[in-house]
């Protein structure tokens, strides 16, 4: 445990990672500010020092994870012509499901104030599913121009199908549900080719 009055490095990420572990172990009902700080091994009030409350914390966690995946999707443009197209797309599609994705999505759905903050941030331009979808579509279009993707592949429709499926899997997953990653891998193979 960090002693009182001593700066905790990488506070946001430390708390976010702790929250993901709490969610994975106990689901949305287990997430409290005390559970997060205990899991993070830091002072009980640290979460409230950096966030205006648990709803803001949950919203920031979701937005942070969206931004990470959007950054990964944007990096696809640097992979055009390199590696496996399906492998490159699959890495981004699976990133949507990583970091406790289903549990974090379920948590956001159980907290209306957090869901509202997330929607407002996305409407204001925070990266989310739309940015990820656009990056995948642009990547597939560039790969199609290089003939690494069949001409019959519609990049925009494929990107929508991948992101829409990830959204569906996030919102319909619960502890003990079938592993969504295998479903996403099969979908990438079916849409883009193996």
Give 48-83 pLDDT, tens digit per residue. Answer: 999 999 999 999 998 998 888 899 999 999 999 999
Average pLDDT over residues 94-104: 73
Residue 55: CA count within 13 A, CB half-sphere = 11
Q: What DSSP string describes 27-48?
A: -GGG--HHHHHHHHTS-TTHHH
Torsion sign (Cα): 15, 17, 19, 21: negative
H-helix segments, the chain: 11-26, 33-40, 46-50, 54-74, 85-95, 101-110, 112-123, 129-145, 155-171, 180-192
Average pLDDT over residues 36-40: 95
- Under a CB-based contact definition with an 8 Å cutoff, are residues 143 and 193 in contact? no
Of 136, 163, 133, the C-alpha closest to 76 is: 136
Taking the C-alpha atoms of residue 167 and residue 138, their distance in angstroms, rounded to an integer, is 20
Taking the C-alpha atoms of residue 192 and residue 108, their distance in angstroms, rounded to an integer, is 31
**DSSP assigned state of 51:** S
Taking the C-alpha atoms of residue 169 and residue 177, their distance in angstroms, rounded to an integer, is 10
Report the percent of the chain where pLDDT is more than 70: 90
Say if residue 6's pLDDT is above 70. Answer: no
Taking the C-alpha atoms of residue 121 and residue 127, their distance in angstroms, rounded to an integer, is 9
Taking the C-alpha atoms of residue 88 and residue 100, their distance in angstroms, rounded to an integer, is 21
List phi, psi (to 5°) of 32: -130, 160
On whether the pTM is more than 0.95, the answer is no
What six digits make up the tokens of 35?
């559970």
What's the chain's average pLDDT? 87
Q: What is the CA radius of gyration of the chain?
A: 18
| Per-residue pLDDT at 101 | 63
């Amino acid at each position: 445990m960090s002693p009182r009055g001593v700066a905790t490095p990488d506070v946001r990420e430390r708390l976010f990672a702790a929250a993901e572990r709490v969610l994975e172990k106990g689901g949305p009902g287990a997430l409290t500010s005390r559970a997060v700080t205990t899991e993070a091994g830091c002072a009980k009030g640290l979460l409230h020092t950096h966030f205006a409350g648990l709803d803001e914390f949950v919203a920031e966690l979701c937005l942070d994870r969206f931004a990470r995946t959007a950054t990964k999707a944007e990096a696809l443009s640097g992979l055009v012509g390199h590696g496996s197209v399906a492998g490159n797309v699959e890495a981004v599609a699976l990133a949507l499901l990583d970091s406790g994705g289903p549990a974090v999505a379920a948590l956001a759905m159980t907290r209306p104030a957090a869901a509202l903050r997330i929607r407002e941030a996305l409407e204001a331009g925070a990266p989310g599913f739309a940015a990820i979808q656009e990056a995948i579509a642009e990547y597939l279009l560039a790969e199609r121009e290089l003939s690494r993707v069949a001409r019959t592949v519609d990049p925009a429709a494929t990107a929508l199908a991948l992101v829409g499926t990830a959204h569906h899997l996030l919102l319909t997953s619960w502890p003990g549900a079938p592993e969504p990653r295998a479903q996403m891998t099969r979908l990438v193979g079916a849409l883009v080719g193996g």
